[in-house]
Structure 1
Amino acid sequence: MGLKHRTDSSFADIFNPRGGRITTVNGFNLPILKWLQLSAERGVLYNNALYAPHWNINAHSIVYITRGNGRIQIVSENGEAIFDDRVQEGQVITVPQNHVVLKKAGRQGFEWISFKTNANAQISQLAGRVSVLRGLPVDVLANSFGISREEASRLKQNRQEVSVFSPRRGSQQ
Structure 2
Amino acid sequence: MEEEEEEYQQERPNGLEEPLCNIKLRVNIDNPSKSDVYNPNAGRINRINSRNLPILRLLNLNAEKGVLYRNALEAPQWHVNAHCVMYVTKGDARVQIVGNYQQPIYDGELHRGQLLVVPQNFAVVKKAGDNGFEWISFQTNDNAMSSTLAGRNSALRALPQEVLMNAFRISSEEARSLKYNREETEIFAPRSESQGRAIA
Identity across matched positions, percent? 51
Following the alignment from structure 1 to structure 2, what is the Cα–Cα distance between the partners of residues 53 and 131? 9
| Equivalent residue, structure 2, for 1:134 | 157
Following the alignment from structure 1 to structure 2, what is the Cα–Cα distance between the partners of residues 8 and 104? 22
Give the counterpart letter for 2:129 in structure 1: G
Structure 2 residue 180 is matched with structure 1 residue 169: no
Alignment of 1:1-173 (within 5 A): 3-170=26-193
| Equivalent residue, structure 1, for 2:15 | none
What's the CA shift for 1:124? 0.5
* 1:94-136, Cα deviation, whole Å (9 max, x unpaired): 0000000001100000000001100000101100000010011
Aligned length: 172
Secondary structure of 1:70 counterpart: strand
> Given that residues 77 and 100 in structure 1 are in contact (C-alpha distance below 8 angstroms), is that contact kept between their aligned partners in structure 2?
no
What's the CA shift for 1:143? 1.1
> Given that residues 29 and 47 in structure 2 are in contact (C-alpha distance below 8 angstroms), is that contact kept between their aligned partners in structure 1?
no
Structure with greater contact order relative to length (CA < 8 Å, sep ≥ 6):
1
Following the alignment from structure 1 to structure 2, what is the Cα–Cα distance between the partners of residues 54 and 4? 25
Following the alignment from structure 1 to structure 2, what is the Cα–Cα distance between the partners of residues 146 and 70? 32
Give the counterpart letter for 2:189 in structure 1: S
Give the counterpart letter for 2:86 in structure 1: V
Flag the structure with higher helix content: 2
> Given that residues 78 and 122 in structure 2 are in contact (C-alpha distance below 8 angstroms), is that contact kept between their aligned partners in structure 1?
yes
Q: Using structure 2 for the length normalisation, give the TM-score.
A: 0.82
* 1:13-63, Cα deviation, whole Å (9 max, x unpaired): 000000000110001101111110000000000000000000000000100
Gaps of 5+ in 2: 1-24
1:100 to 1:6, Cα distance in 2 relative to 1, 3 A: closer
Secondary structure of 2:177 counterpart: helix
Following the alignment from structure 2 to structure 1, what is the Cα–Cα distance between the partners of residues 141 and 101? 23
Following the alignment from structure 1 to structure 2, what is the Cα–Cα distance between the partners of residues 5 and 35? 19
What's the CA shift for 1:6? 4.2
Following the alignment from structure 1 to structure 2, what is the Cα–Cα distance between the partners of residues 77 and 14? 28
Moved over 3 A (4+): 170-173
Gaps of 5+ in 1: none
